[in-house]
């Protein structure tokens, strides 16, 4: 009897549950359906939900108009804000940059930075009165240009070798390139940036004793601008120009002065770009070049062992890939050696047309020193040996080297030297 009673009560409960599900007029809860209903019941109830929503029987199932409006308004406002911000960002890239006054002038430091001097170049015949500190990489073509100038004119200077990877030696300045030159002036040390500006400013000072170095530097302001890609860049104005208070042309014509300026610029913008793809043409050449840089720069004396190895191996690996990019950027020939030969032959043809030993005539001028300085940066590399074998640059190059070693430019006395 007990079993029969339990069976009837269970059967009655099942019938009541089935009846309740059948007459339910509200939308079923999906989670409840998964737990207590069969798969067929879920499909049935979902169909019922869709039918009621589409026919409008149950208005509570439709989204409220206010919610829909707020959603659409938010999306529209976000899209409008994003489009406006993107446009302003794009437009700002191409707006001209304001340069107050005549631009930025290299600062005068009250004291010399607390950096250890790597070595001193003392020239007994130096009468320039200049006290200079050169921050450099030993085989940077632009640093080599400055050294060639100083050596030729017999000017003493101190050297600080900069670690090309870590660059701790130039952390004191916002200008993160080399060379950087510090010159002792009244009130501290005048900073000079950019190799061509350094050479032009020092030449202007040496040629005209009425010039004050701090005043000369003001003729070479730095301005900021956006390039064609919207990237902010800085450029030193007038860096190829010599600044005289009077007419001190040393009997040169205007055309000769302009030609000198033109070929100084050619050395910086054409010749120099053929070097890296040649020096770092292969991984073996890149490693050989950095080992030579280490030898010339005496890195074993200046840097710890791990710093030296870091510079050699990381530098060689990085420059191998950079050399490939530079080859494409400057449209060099597939055989990059040929591009180097072509530019050097071009330079020799210009000198030959003058029928003089140097571009400057019987004595070198600033264009000769610029080209020599750039080429001297690769003298210990395999690319330079190939250059000597495949062109006739050797006689001119080694004659220039002799002039620099012997300080030939100082023979006529600083203040009236051939430019």
Q: Find out whether 189 and 183 touch, Cβ atoms under 8 Å.
A: yes
* Whether residue 207 lies in the annotated active site: no
How many CA atoms are closer than 13 Å to the CA of 278, on its beta-carbon side? 27
H or E element: which one contains 259?
A: helix 254-269
Out of 3, 12, 69, 143, pick the active-site residue.
143
Active site residue 381: no
Q: Which of 191, 180, 196, 256 is closest to 218 using CA atoms?
A: 191
Residue tagged active-site, from 140, 144, 219, 344: 140
Beta bridge partners of 161: 136
Q: Catalytic: which of 137, 207, 320, 341?
A: 137
Strand bridging mode 188-193 / 180-185: antiparallel
Q: Which residue has the tokens 């002792």?
A: 184
Burial class (CB in 10 A: 0-12, 13-18, 19+), 54: exposed
- Give residue for tokens 């020239």: 123
143 is catalytic: yes
Phi, psi of 304 (to 5 degrees): -70, 165
Alpha-carbon gap, residue 295 to 291, rounded angstroms: 6
User: What totals of helices (H) and strands (E) does the chain contain, helices first?
Assistant: 17, 8
Does residue 219 have an active-site annotation? no
Per the residue annotation, which of 142, 220, 303, 397 is the catalytic one? 142
What sections of 355-393 are H helices per DSSP?
A: 366-376, 382-390
Q: So which residues are the catalytic ones?
A: 137, 140, 142-143
């Amino acid at each position: 009897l007990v079993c029969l009673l339990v069976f009837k009560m269970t059967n009655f409960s099942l019938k009541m549950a089935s009846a309740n599900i059948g007459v339910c007029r509200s939308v079923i809860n999906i989670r409840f359906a998964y737990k207590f209903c069969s798969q067929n019941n879920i499909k049935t109830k979902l169909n019922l939900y869709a039918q009621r929503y589409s026919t409008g029987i149950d208005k509570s199932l439709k989204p409220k108009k206010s919610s829909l409006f707020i959603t659409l308004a938010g999306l529209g406002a976000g899209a409008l804000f994003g489009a406006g911000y993107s446009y302003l960002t794009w437009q700002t890239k191409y707006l001209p940059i304001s340069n107050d006054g005549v631009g930025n002038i290299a600062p005068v430091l009250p004291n010399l930075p607390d950096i250890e001097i790597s070595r001193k170049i003392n020239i007994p015949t130096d009468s320039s009165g200049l006290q200079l500190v050169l921050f450099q990489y030993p085989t940077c073509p632009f640093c080599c240009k400055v050294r060639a100038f100083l050596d030729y004119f017999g000017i003493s200077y101190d050297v600080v070798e900069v670690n090309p990877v870590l660059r701790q030696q130039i952390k004191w300045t916002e200008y993160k390139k080399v060379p950087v030159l510090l010159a002792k002036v009244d009130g501290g040390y005048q900073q000079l940036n950019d190799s061509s500006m350094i050479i032009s400013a020092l030449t202007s000072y040496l040629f005209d004793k009425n010039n004050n170095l701090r005043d000369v530097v003001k003729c070479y302001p730095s301005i900021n601008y956006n390039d064609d890609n919207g990237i902010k860049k800085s450029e030193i104005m007038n860096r190829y120009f010599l600044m005289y208070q009077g007419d001190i042309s040393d009997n040169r014509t205007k055309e000769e002065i302009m030609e000198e300026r033109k070929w100084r610029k050619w050395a910086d913008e054409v010749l120099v770009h053929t070097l890296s793809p040649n020096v770092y043409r292969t991984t073996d050449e890149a490693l050989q070049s950095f080992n030579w840089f280490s030898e010339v720069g005496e890195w074993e004396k200046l840097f710890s062992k791990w710093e030296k190895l870091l510079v050699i191996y990381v530098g060689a690996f990085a420059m191998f890939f950079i050399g490939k990019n530079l080859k494409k950027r400057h449209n060099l020939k597939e055989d990059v050696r040929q591009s180097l030969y072509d530019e050097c032959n071009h330079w020799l043809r210009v000198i030959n047309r003058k029928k003089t030993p140097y571009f400057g005539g019987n004595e070198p001028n600033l264009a000769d020193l610029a080209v020599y300085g750039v080429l001297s940066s690769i003298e210990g590399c395999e690319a330079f040996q190939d250059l000597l074998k495949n062109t006739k640059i050797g006689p001119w190059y080694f004659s220039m080297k002799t002039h620099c070693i012997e300080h030939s430019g100082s023979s006529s006395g600083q203040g009236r030297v051939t430019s």
